[in-house]
Amino acid sequence: MLAEAQDHEEIIERVAAIDVGKAEVMCCVRVPDRVHPGRRLQEVRPYSTMTRSLLLLSDRLAELGVTRVVMEATSDYWKPVFYLLERPGRQVWLVNARDVKHLPGRPKTDRLDAVWLCKVAERQMLRPSFVPPPEVRRLRDLTRYRCDLVRARTSEKNRVEKLLEDACIKLSVVASDIFGVSGRAMMAQLIDGQRNAQQLAQLAKAGMRRKIPVLEEALTGRFTDHHAFLLATMLRRIDGIDADLTAVETEVEQALAPFAVAVARLDEIIGVGVTAASVIIAEIGVDMSRFPTPAHLSSWAKFAPGVSESAGRRKGRSATGHGNRYLASVLGEIAVVVGRTDTFLGERYRRIARRRGTNRAIVAVGRSILVIVWHLLSDSEARYRDLGAEFYQRQRGTERQKAGHIRQLQALGYHVTLEPVA
């Protein structure tokens, strides 16, 4: 039996869509026709991506009374357009290009793409992507650059170790950190021309002095002037990155000052420190109204299990997909660290890792952390409380635990008789 549908088509009266390119944007504006009610007027014009031209575009949109502007996320070219068009009373939406399907058989040009995007936008068939406010964007720029610098420093340190291996210098076999005080002193002497293994080993400090005989063996190699030049260059790069990291860290602290309360609350979570909290805030912000529920946040971050179904049959759990790599990286690090603790999250990690593997355990614990973060940032009265490593044991009843132990003993070939203790 046919029933009346509850759908109501709501048209955005004054809407604009922008096809973004590196040097030029194509803007399509659709507004009501006052002369012929029910009809629409349309204007399609190209604009340069230079600042003056974009300001003219903004003034034109204000003149036409446009209330919503939609653009696709094209590389990083959308950023200057998005930022310059932001103003009170005007919604600027960034949408995922995958949500705007290109119809087969329709010619594809910048002009037609802008018109199609505008038609889809005016019928409210798109969802906006999450773009944080300016103060969070500034913090995000700093934390992401800090992360990139750390990766660059790690890569350079790996090159140093490979260079020493090429020269038969096995310092990394003896020293846990070749960039400590002892290791840097030995490498400095190698660069200055010292090749005597006994004298190099005497540069060891503190606990390393117990390993002097082994160090003499490790420092006997074929280190040449060619290696010295490369090593000096690499160490200068590492020192330069260290200096840049110190400067960036100072800027991060200043940018993080307005979010001090949020950082302190996230710092209460086991495994989350100030550095991890700064990355989390930089990636998701502190206003959780953008994510109605914790499930929305987990889904956006791609820390929710995917589902694949065809012909009425579930095909198991599909991949979570690719989300925010900076957020995923810090959540993965937290999950691994907390997996070694005697806490609820640590026990959750170990339980899932035993049955499903470490990758699934990282995703599951990462999702749990996002749920905790959402509640802490949504409710100013909420506080983090660890449920304890024995939480799962408490959840299981006595009879259920007894039956489980009996089954395990019977599987080993034992006949089990239980007698209660007096």
Radius of gyration of the chain (CA): 30
* Assigned domain for 162 exists: yes
Chain centroid to Cα 322, Å, comes to 10
Residues 39 and 114 grouped into a single domain: yes
Strands 68-72, 15-20: pairing kind: parallel
* Structural domain ending residue among the three candidates 81, 96, 122: 122
pLDDT (mean) for 342-354: 89
Among 48, 41, 50, 99, smallest CA distance to 70 is for: 99
Each residue's pLDDT tens digit, 163-204: 999 999 998 888 888 998 999 999 999 999 888 888 988 888
Residues 235 and 280 grouped into a single domain: no
Query: According to the model, what pLDDT value does residue 373 have?
Result: 92
- Average pLDDT of the chain to the nearest whole number: 86
Classify residue 18 as exposed, middle or buried by CB count within 10 Å of its CB (0-12, 13-18, 19+).
Answer: buried
E strands along 273-340, which residues? Answer: 306-310, 313-318
Q: At what angle do helices 134-166 and 325-338 cross, to 10 degrees?
A: 70
DSSP assignment of 177-239 equals -TTSHHHHHHHHHHHHT---HHHHHTT--GGGGGGHHHHHHHT-S---HHHHHHHHHHHHHHH
Distance CA 17, CA 43 (A): 11
Distance CA 414, CA 128 (A): 62
Count of the separate structural domains present in the chain: 3
SS3 string of 283-300? HHCCCHHHCCCHHHHHHH
Residues 148 and 91 grouped into a single domain: no
Residues 265 and 252 grouped into a single domain: no
Among 127, 121, 73, 110, smallest CA distance to 81 is for: 73
* Assigned domain for 58 exists: yes
**Structure token digits, residue 348:** 């959750």
pLDDT (mean) for 253-259: 91
Does position 95 have pLDDT exceeding 70, yes or no?
A: yes
Which residues lie below 8 Å from residue 217, measured CB to CB, with a gap of 6+? 170, 197
Query: According to the model, what pLDDT value does residue 106 have?
Result: 67
Query: According to the model, what pLDDT value does residue 408 have?
Result: 87
Q: Which of 88-97, 140-149, 398-407 has the highest mean pLDDT?
A: 140-149
* Assigned domain for 417 exists: no
Each residue's pLDDT tens digit, 369-416: 999 999 999 888 888 888 877 777 776 667 777 888 888 888 888 888
Three-state DSSP state, 38? coil
Does position 104 have pLDDT exceeding 80, yes or no?
A: no
For residues 83, 76, 112 and 125, what is the CA-based torsion angle, rounded to 10 degrees?
-70
Distance CA 168, CA 212 (A): 17
* Assigned domain for 98 exists: yes
**Domain housing 218:** 136-257
Query: According to the model, what pLDDT value does residue 270 have?
Result: 87
* Assigned domain for 416 exists: no
Residues 26 and 38 grouped into a single domain: yes
Looking at the chain, the number of H-run helices and the number of E-run strands are 17, 7
Of residues 3 and 327, the one with the higher pLDDT is 327
Chain centroid to Cα 162, Å, comes to 30
The pLDDT-based confidence of 151 (bands split at 50, 70, 90) is very high
Residues 184 and 156 grouped into a single domain: yes
* Assigned domain for 393 exists: no
Residues 35 and 108 grouped into a single domain: yes
Query: According to the model, what pLDDT value does residue 103 have?
Result: 59
Residues 216 and 239 grouped into a single domain: yes
* Assigned domain for 394 exists: no
- 8 A C-beta contact, residue 219 and residue 127: no
Distances (CA, A) of 189 to 63, 182, 192, 195: 70, 11, 5, 8
| Burial state string for 250-288 with b = 16 or more CB within 10 A and e = fewer than 16 | ebbeebbeebeebbebbeebbbbeebbbbbbbbbbbbeb
Residues 173 and 213 grouped into a single domain: yes
Residues 248 and 266 grouped into a single domain: no
Query: According to the model, what pLDDT value does residue 149 have?
Result: 95
Each residue's pLDDT tens digit, 28-62: 998 888 888 878 888 898 999 898 999 999 989 98
Query: According to the model, what pLDDT value does residue 129 have?
Result: 83
* Structural domain ending residue among the three candidates 75, 96, 122: 122
**Structure token digits, residue 175:** 């020293």
* Structural domain ending residue among the three candidates 60, 93, 122: 122
Residues 83 and 159 grouped into a single domain: no
Residues 23 and 74 grouped into a single domain: yes
Q: What CATH number has the domain bearing residue 84?
A: 3.30.420.10
* Assigned domain for 403 exists: no
Phi, psi (degrees; rounded to nearest 5) at 267: -65, -20
pTM: 0.80
Task: Name residue 179's beta-bridge partners.
Answer: none
